[in-house]
Amino acid sequence: MNRKTLVTMSIAATLTIGTFGTATAHSSLSELKDKKSSIQQEKAQVNEKIDSKSSEINQNISRQNEIQAEIAAIDKKIIDTNAEIQEKEAEINKTNDEIDKLKVEIEALKKKIEERNQLLEERARAMQEKGGSSNYLDVLLGADSFGDFINRVTAVNTIVNADKKIIDEQKRDQAELEKKQKEVEDKLAELEKSKENLVSLKKDLDSQKGQKNALFAELEKEQSKLNVEKEELEASANELEELEKRIGGEIQAEQSRLAELARQKELERKKAQAAAAPKATTASSSGSSNSSASVDAPSVSAGTWTRPASGIITTEHGPDVLNGKPRMHYGMDIAANGSVPIVAAADGFVIKSERSSSYGNVVYMTHSINGQTFTTVYAHMSSSLVSGSQYVQKGQQIGYMGNTGFSFGQHLHFELHAGAWNGAKSNAVNPRRYISF
C-alpha cells in the first residue's frame, strides 16, 4: 500500500467522522476544531515531506547535471584520444613507408657491400697467389727507368689506396646500415607503444563513460520516482486543503448556529427583563444579595457584561514588555491568590474547552450582543467546569484561576474579541471598552 493510498484513506476516514460530527448535537464544534487542528498538523507534515522531496529532486537534478558535465568531459577526452590514435597510426604508416623505403636502400646497400666483398676477396686471392706485398716490390724493381719507377709507384699507391677506400666504405656502409635499422626499429616500437597506451586509455575512457551513463540512467529513474512521489504528496496536500476548507465551513456553520442560539437567548433575556420591569426594586434587592457573595467571586454587574474574576489588574491590554522584549498584549491579566472562581463575562455558548501549551486550560465562548458577535477567552485556569457547545449565563462559574500553560504566576488572562477569535488576534479589543474593572 503506497503513501497516497494511506493518506487518502486517512482523509476519507476524517471526512466520514467530520460529516457524522456535524450531525451530532452541541459537542460538534469542539470535535470539528480538534479535527481541523489534526488536519492542519497532517497537512503540515505532508508539506514538510513535499519540501523534503523537492530538495531531493533538486539534489538529483544537480547530480544529473554534474554527471552530464563529467560525461561531456570524458567525451572530449575520447575525441582527443581518438585524434591522437589517428595521429599515431599516421606516423606508424609513415614509419612503415620509411621502413619499406629503407628496406630497398638496405637491399641496394647489401648488394653493394656484397660486390665489395667479392672485389676484396678477389684482390686478397690475387695477392696471395702472387706473394702479397713482395709482388708490389717486384713490380717496382722491374722498372726500366726512373720515370717508369715513378709511374709504377703511383700505380701501386693507387691500388693500395683503392683497396683502403673500399674497406673504409664497407665499414661506413655497414655502420650506417646498422644505425638506420636501429633508428627505424626504435621509432616503430615507440609509436606502437604510444598507440597501445592510447588504445588502453580510450578503452578506460569508454568504460568510464559507460559507468557514467549507467549512473545517469539510475538518476533519471530516481528522478521519475521522486516526481511521482511529490505529485502524490501534492495531491494529498490538496485533498487535505479541501478537507480543511470543508471542516472550516462546518465550524463556521456551527459557530453561526451557536451565535444564533446566543441571540435567541439574548432576546429571551430582554423579554424577561421587560416583563419584570415593574419589579425593579426586587431585582435591585437581588443585586445587593449578589454583592454580599464570597469575596473570592466577582460581583455580577448589571447590564450585558460583567467582570470575569476578582483580583488585581497586573497587565493591561496593549503594548507591553515581557522578559525585556516588546510585545502586544491582547488581553488583560487579573491576579489573585487562593481558590478564585472565574465566571462568564456575558451570556453565551462555549465554543470549546481545552488545554494548550500556551493558554493552558482555556475556555472560548461566543456571545451575541445587540446583534453583534463577540468572543471571550479565559486562559491559564487551573480547571474548567464547562464543555463545548454548553450554554452559560453571565456570572455563571466556568472554572478556577490557575497558572497553567505559558504563565508566571496564578492569574486569569482574559481576551475580548469583536467578532470571531483568530490566531492573529486581529479582532482583539480592550475589554475596558465594554466591562468595568
Residue 320 has pLDDT above 50, yes or no: yes
Greater model confidence, 26 or 381: 381
Is the Cα torsion angle 393, 397, 399, 400 positive or negative in sign? positive
pLDDT of residue 136: 53
**Residue range 106-140, pLDDT digits in tens:** 778 778 777 777 776 776 666 556 554 545 555 55
382 CB burial (10 A radius; 0-12, 13-18, 19+): middle
| Coil/strand/helix, residue 82 | helix
Using CA atoms, how far apart are residues 65 and 238, in angstroms rounded to an integer? Answer: 31
- Domain 305-433 sits in CATH at 2.70.70.10
Q: Alpha helix (H) ranges present in 357-428?
A: none
Residue 22 has pLDDT above 50, yes or no: no
Residue 327 pairs with which residues in a beta bridge?
A: 320
| Coil/strand/helix, residue 159 | helix
Residue 283 has pLDDT above 50, yes or no: no
Q: Which of 379, 390, 372 is nearest to 305 (CA)?
A: 372
Q: Over the Cα atoms of the chain, what is R_g?
A: 56
pLDDT of residue 117: 72
| H-run or E-run covering 401 | strand 397-401
* 299 backbone φψ class: left, alpha, beta (φ>0; ψ -120 to 50): beta
Residue 333 has pLDDT above 60, yes or no: yes
The total number of residues written for the chain in this structure: 437
**Residue range 296-311, pLDDT digits in tens:** 568 888 889 999 999 9
Angle formed by the axes of helices 146-275 and 3-23, nearest 10°:
10
Domain with CATH 2.70.70.10 in the chain: 305-433
Is the Cα torsion angle 138, 144, 149, 154 positive or negative in sign? negative
Q: Which of 430, 422, 340 is nearest to 381 (CA)?
A: 340
Residue 350 pairs with which residues in a beta bridge?
A: 365
Q: Which of 341, 335, 235 is nearest to 298 (CA)?
A: 341
Greater model confidence, 13 or 35: 35
Greater model confidence, 319 or 109: 319
Single-letter amino acid code for the residue at 205:
L
Cα dihedral angle (331, 337, 343, 349), rounded to 10 degrees? 60
Q: Does 1.10.287 match the CATH number of domain 60-220? A: yes
pLDDT of residue 294: 46
Domain with CATH 1.10.287 in the chain: 60-220
> How is residue 404 written as a grid cell?
497553567
Averaged pLDDT score across all residues of the chain: 80
Single-letter amino acid code for the residue at 12:
A
Q: Which of 91, 114, 105 is nearest to 181 (CA)?
A: 105
C-beta separation of 240 from 42 below 8 A: yes
**Residue range 215-237, pLDDT digits in tens:** 889 888 888 888 998 888 988 88
Using CA atoms, how far apart are residues 38 and 129, in angstroms rounded to an integer? Answer: 129
Q: pTM (2 decimals)?
A: 0.47
Residue 412 has pLDDT above 70, yes or no: yes
**Residue range 240-273, pLDDT digits in tens:** 888 888 877 777 777 777 777 877 777 777 777 6
Angle formed by the axes of helices 28-129 and 146-275, nearest 10°:
180
Which of 76-90, 319-333, 358-372 comes out lowest in average pLDDT?
76-90
| Coil/strand/helix, residue 421 | coil
